[in-house]
Structure 1
């Protein structure tokens, strides 16, 4: 039997639509979704019936006309009947049908539906893209297939995905949601760069992971700053916007691609408000954000509370009396009308309270010593923080006015007049917003994105491991420090450690770089760690554990020290100095090792410069190569600026136009987070406004002159000891500090804090 031939006795003939009806044995009982049926009707209207129906003869009608029951093609029949009912088709339209022989109609219907394979979405994407390439508009394609224009736009956006990604989707290496995440931008170069990273993993990439990498250097439209500026104002200023057609909601699918422009527009808007505030207050500033630590440095003056009018007082008493009456009613007496009355009373009481609060007023004395900050609220609206008193403007307390109980009286303005009212101590200021994610804040202060931080952390850590592997004393101290605290300091806990005490070798690369052959050139520490030629491993090949241990015990001490340091080094957990979780004992060890990171790692366009914001690159250029060099290239496109920075920071002779001193500064520069952090810093420094003219200075303060964190941190700082001038922190002995007995406190500096506390409590 020829499997491609029609069944014996089957014929093809045209049958008027009016004589067709759905056979009771048709297996498709569940009605099609309305949208799917509308798409089918649109397709038939545009292209005609592309596939015949399968029917069987089923008697005659009252006029003696032969009728046919449709066994396969029920959806097509329903679409034809709907179009005829709408007047789009003639009810007597001939419909091509294959007449089935006398057989099991249910079996034919089941076979027709079960063996059908739906078109792969990737093929549909290619087909839609081909139609668009032939000149059909989005509206025309939508009309032909009965779908919304947004659906067509989404399919066409998927058509902008790189062919390699469509192939990966067909091969089920990625799912549809992940393909959508890649298609968030039509830049196929960026798509393939991210695909190269995630395809190297041992697991299938997720849509969330891909979208994070595709948008890591962009500002989401849902952010407070983006909502404050508005997408219309940003685009009017020439700002590029990336839109995700697959996202739900306008803001969730929008990214601002020029963060520097967005910040500039926000600052200009805030500065206009600050200018107006400065006409009333002693000072006014514009700041993109005001966190708790910033606000807490100021004192506060509070406005004089508003007073209710006589009418408001009387109305409030009347409403509260009625509210109490309603509250005392029994449940069986309660009605919907009474409930509505109670709600109305609550609303009116709230309105009166808000009206009274709105009458609160600062006094002239307040304006004379305090200021205000215009900033962006968490919801993207303008927020004005008023009544802030700088430490230098705090009124002096009058000792003579102290009460008998020893408490100081209210402070005054310091000029003999009635003061500005009570002024809180600087640390009393309440938080203005929840603390931000410390990890994200540390990266933002360093000007580093997630992907770049992953790479820099791996490169730095590999070098730290390689140097620690050759320094027994440093490795021994680091291990003993963690081991003793874990064993003897009961109650000592921390979420982060410098070492994995279970002695498991840590990875030398981020997961996305595991199969990246080119990454080794950027991470010289890998090759250093791969060289085991100097390590004595003969003993490890002994036949059993007892013989193996005996062989180890008989090794010379120098060999044991080599093995100890090499093994400990390979357990080091990666960290950059600016990161929130950075362990101080590891940073002290890094400084102790005296690693010359700048000689090992030179920043290239691909690794570093192309992944930093342009304003950050120019700030680094000003600090190293000089203002003139940076100014001359401030108009460069970012890709050209990145290439110029790579050439300027490359080892060798100074490039043309760069002096010897500037080139030396460039050669001494290391990426953010490489140099060990300094736990010092002026915690009492007055906060500086974050206007654009101060941005470079703030960046330097936040990340250190060499790109590492320089702000004070609350941590158990462990002083470095040993070789050279790279030590972190200074003991009291170094500073010449003595205690009450005239002895220097430096002798206790190397004693862990928990042991000192234990001694003091005995």
Structure 2
């Protein structure tokens, strides 16, 4: 029999009853006016689903204006649990009539007990929470996903709490006592090595910034962004028994590889496997693998030469190009994603075209038989294969010079000897060591017996020709550019030849001995690739070089000229070369002329700069880039700590030491002035405000 709400019996105070969920309402006197967060309700719903409602709701009967009961109950304490159960109804986990265990309270003021419930409550200390989560994991074997489901939090949150619970108990207690902040404790959680954690804590100075703690804990580790880690990969490293330290509280970008020695070995092993594949496939005399670029001093470098494709390859290339063009045109304007088979076929055609293109250049068999290959680790974590190095002992013997038909005197140390090494009679000799008295009668003898023109006459005539060439070439700038480019290219790309009519001698100083690791940088790789591109296009015989250059369009001639000229740049400052001050000033002018931006090629790291200068220089750099306040924050640090802190602060600022700075070129300054003058009046005020706000910062 259903009891009418208006005649329902009065329920005595303090009695425990089960009330249908749909008969419960939020009490209007509830102290909490700010709604519960979704995360809080999610957590309560998960907890109730796993463990039931552990604490009764406190309610009082609702009455109407006449004081008669309505059949509903107002929740004074436990509104969050009511909302959690409603969420479970929405998810169809329970019915809306689910009985809820409640305690009737008609004696106390609802507003007061609701406030008391929230005021006189102390949350569990985070350290206790971390340890209890760890105990659930260890004692009951629950994983992060299961624990997360039972407490209504994400698996990531559980993983973080488990990691914090695994910090050294000594540090956990220090955290409880207020000796560490949460951020600092999270920094220690980057590793589970308690001894290491305690050692780093003991070595900390008054400065306990979280990044310093993380830095000290990972000092002997390798960041996942390191080229070795990128090359090896996390899977191969883990399979070899390596451990990757992950930071669950910051963006760790892949973590830290704990065993640097293992990582080096794995990287070298992989490079050696690639080297073996190259040697087996191509047949080079030797192939060497190195993590860092080895200085190939004393070795000559050869490059592949253009070759004609076979008829079969040429036909296959044309067919692949035609099919690729047809498929691309057919699907160019399609509004849908490419079908899998079409996308795969396009990839196959592109790979085939690339494969055949690779056959257009090849090394000579003799070069492969004498030469070798370096397989090194590139700056971006890829394998860098550099072919065509010839050791001095593997060079082909130079052809012997033909013996002279006649005795020609040679001046050695002021004494003239003939071809047999006999000292000639004293007398007058020309600059080539020839008997001047004999030369006087050469012209007459040549006329009598039909001999070729004498050396003295040829020298005379070619001197006049040289003079005329100088005059004429100076009137033809385009041809002068070809002549200079030919002279530079002949000496840059060919060995042991003297095909130069212009007496220009390009010298390219090696930079490897001046800056450690410079050959492994992105800039060095880009320069090497540019050089290899030109070397591959060069004709086999230097005799054909003039025709090759003359046949290039003007832009290509200029590009080749610029490349050859660039290799001769030497702006390295050496302390004993005080006589090169004017050359260094010219280098500054060249940098300005080409608008050199060193921020694209260099950053102020501890290794590159900050660890090699005084504390005064470090502070000056930070002060200049970020202001006095930033410099003051690190002023009391020790040298190494200061350098490391400065590296963090200067990252992304574009700061450069004065020796690397480039004066703004006049043309760029003019362009900026014109752009500034073109600004409209309504935007000018905004720019001025921005200027002052930046200055204030």
* TM-score tier after normalising by the smaller chain length: 0.3 to 0.5
| TM score, norm. by length of structure 1 | 0.44
More helix by share: 2
TM-score of the superposed pair, with normalisation by structure 2: 0.48
User: Looking at CA atoms only, which structure, 1 or 2, has the larger radius of gyration?
Assistant: 2
Q: Which has the higher contact order (CA 8 A, sep 6+)?
A: 1
